[in-house]
Amino acid sequence: MNLERPLTGRVALVTGGAMGIGFAAARHLAQRGATVIIADRQGAEQAAADLRELDLSAHGTTVDVSSEDAVNTLADTVIGQHGKLDILLNNAGIYSSLKPAPFETLSVDQWRRVFDVNVMGIFLVCRALLPLLKSSEHARIINISSGVAFKGNPWMAHYVASKGAVISLTRALATELGSHAITVNSVAPGFTLSDGVHGNPDLVAGVKEPSLRNRVLARDMLPADLTGAIDFFAGDQAAFITGQTLVVDGGAYFH
């Protein structure tokens, strides 16, 4: 095994991989030797091109993970272009565009949209790619949840509930897919200053200061802070770990 590139020969799909946490993870997995497929609603092809400029193996494809037809097309693309899948990182989600709001002011449409992407998206992608994962000797599913699922943060009830569902789905899939030697784990970030978050001043104003105050490691959290945990679950060192959620938030929540 190439110790510096232990994922050589493996194919990884990163949803929501064009920017922020997803792009940081895609770049890291590619640097570790994987061929990475970046899937996103926009910017996927450019993000993949940026990685190829670094002499990394990457491909981009446009997809809306909340659309069953689009996800099925994504699966066909992965099968046609690569014929295999070893690592699935379900990162696509709605957060950075949200504005903190009292529970009673949330509309049904707001609630459904968050769940369609954050929860239904994982269901659709996992279901569509499962045949490929079942044929892999190193199958890993990694879901990005959030520490808010444990803390119950206020003013974001739809988001908090969706990430709680991601953790529950992670556990259910781990139980069901264990017989196929597919591990299913979750990484739960704290408040991360990603590109999208920087574009939402209301969110930064309401969340950044409390997040810093509650952390043992009192500094801003960046997308690169997640790559180590994702790499761990993606590699052979976590081959006998499944159904777990690793909180990465600088010590704001002890799980």
Give the model's pLDDT for residue 201.
83
pLDDT digit string, tens, across residues 22-57 = 999 999 999 999 999 999 999 999 999 999 999 999
208 pLDDT band, cuts 50/70/90, is: confident
Q: Choose among 142, 148, 176, 141: nearest CA to 162.
A: 148
Catalytic residues: 159
Averaged pLDDT for residues 105-123: 98
Averaged pLDDT for residues 113-120: 98
Residue 141 has pLDDT above 70, yes or no: yes
Mean pLDDT of the chain: 95
Averaged pLDDT for residues 84-108: 96
Place of tokens 């010590």: 251
Residue 232 has pLDDT above 90, yes or no: yes
The whole model's pTM is what?
A: 0.96
Listed in sequence order, the residues at least 6 apart from 63 whose beta carbon sits closer than 8 Å to its beta carbon are 15, 39, 40, 41, 44, 70, 71, 73, 74
Please tell us whether the domain made up of 11-248 is placed in CATH 3.40.50.300: no
55 sits in the region (left: phi over 0; alpha: psi -120 to 50; else beta) called left
Q: How buried is 181 (Cβ within 10 angstroms: 0-12 exposed, 13-18 middle, 19+ buried)?
A: middle
Q: Can you list the alpha helix ranges (DSSP code H) found in 101-226?
A: 108-115, 121-134, 148-151, 157-177, 195-198, 201-214
Domain ranges of the chain: 11-248
Query: Are 253 and 150 spatial neighbours (Cβ–Cβ below 8 Å)?
Result: yes
